[in-house]
Amino acid sequence: KNQVEQSPQSLIILEGKNCTLQCNYTVSPFSNLRWYKQDTGRGPVSLTIMTFSENTKSNGRYTATLDADTKQSSLHITASQLSDSASYICVVSEYSGGGADGLTFGKGTHLIIQP
Amino acid sequence: DTGVSQDPRHKITKRGQNVTFRCDPISEHNRLYWYRQTLGQGPEFLTYFQNEAQLEKSRLLSDRFSAERPKGSFSTLEIQRTEQGDSAMYLCASSSQAANTGELFFGEGSRLTVL
């Protein structure tokens, strides 16, 4: 069964500090992995996509890594800001063209940034 | 605003009543998805349309749930004889098959509370 496991379940850090969120998956075949940010009471928004051949990708203060051999991804947030408080959801796709049956969602990591 | 829009944003109803949610996807997107999300969980797939065709429906979806996309544009999700367990955030997302990225664009969600 395809699964996406995220850790930690929740995390509290002080503003300005760095943090790393983990995503382990058993999805096969693998096409890509996305990290979504979901603010409280809002819909998820895509932060970055990682394909099989990509190891690292940055989007501002967010840096995602992918190890396709060990089926692990991480999302590193640098110099955290209060606006980074949100849930971060890892989604793994079996197919490059999308379609609902090829997507497996993690439960998310709930991140709280304290001033 | 050219994003995905959902209506209503919040709905409080009594057990046994019927409710209907509407989703207007991004205009050029031919794929539309409905997800359900409860507190602390990732989005759970409900159903998926490509144009007006409902291509997939979750086995977890009871017969009380029905979704339509009659003209391949907006979609409605109806829940009949609501139960307290139906209380959740109902998320709509759309994507473009032509773009072939698989990225989902989510709406803000419709939060349902069943008393």
How do residues B10-23 score in pLDDT, each as one tens digit?
999 999 999 999 99
| Chain B residue with minimum CA distance to A111 | B40
| Size (chain B), residues | 115
| Size (chain A), residues | 115
Comparing C-alpha atoms, which of A98, A91, A87 is closest to residue A8? A87
How do residues B59-70 score in pLDDT, each as one tens digit?
878 899 999 999
Give the type of residue at A82: L
| CB–CB contact A43 B48 (8 Å) | no
Of B48, B100, B111, the CB nearest to A100: B48
Q: What is the pLDDT of residue B17?
A: 97
The answer to whether the beta carbons of residues A89 and A44 sit under 8 Å apart is yes
Which chain A residues touch B31 with a CB distance below 8 Å? Answer: 98-99
SS3 B55: strand
To the nearest whole Å, the CA of A54 is away from the closest chain B CA by: 15
Which chain A residues touch B106 with a CB distance below 8 Å? Answer: 36, 43-45
DSSP states of chain A: ---EEEE-SEEEEETT--EEEEEEE--SS--EEEEEEE-TTS--EEEEEEETT-SEEEETTEEEEEETTTTEEEEEE-S--GGG-EEEEEEEES-TT--GGGEEE---EEEEEE-
| CB–CB contact A42 B45 (8 Å) | no
How do residues B52-99 score in pLDDT, each as one tens digit?
999 888 887 889 999 999 988 999 999 999 999 999 999 999 988 777
Average pLDDT score over residue span A64-82: 96
